Amino acid sequence: MLLYAFKALKLPQVKAGVDVSNDTPNQTNLASLRVIEKLGMKFLENRQIQENFVAYYVLTAEDYPLKLCW
């Protein structure tokens, strides 16, 4: 999907958000964070959306690890 985003759609970056509120520290959120980190995404910022806190991560086309496969 990232290859499609960067190569076909020519997006400059892809962002991901994960709910990191204190009342929802569950395995799904931890697994999502691990996937985001394995993809090479970098922490961008925390934002509060209503009562929830969301951590946003970004991966740029320049930093995409499989760009050599294009």
Q: Where are the domains of the chain?
A: 2-69
Are 33 and 19 in contact by the 8 Å Cβ rule? The answer is no
From 37, 41, 35, select the one nearest 57 (Cα to Cα): 41
Q: Tell me the pLDDT tens digit for each residue of 13-62.
A: 999 999 887 665 566 688 888 999 899 999 999 999 998 889 999 999 99
CATH topology of domain 2-69: Aminopeptidase (3.40.630)
State the pLDDT at residue 47.
Answer: 93
Instruction: Measure the CA–CA gap between 43 and 61, rounded to whole angstroms.
Output: 15
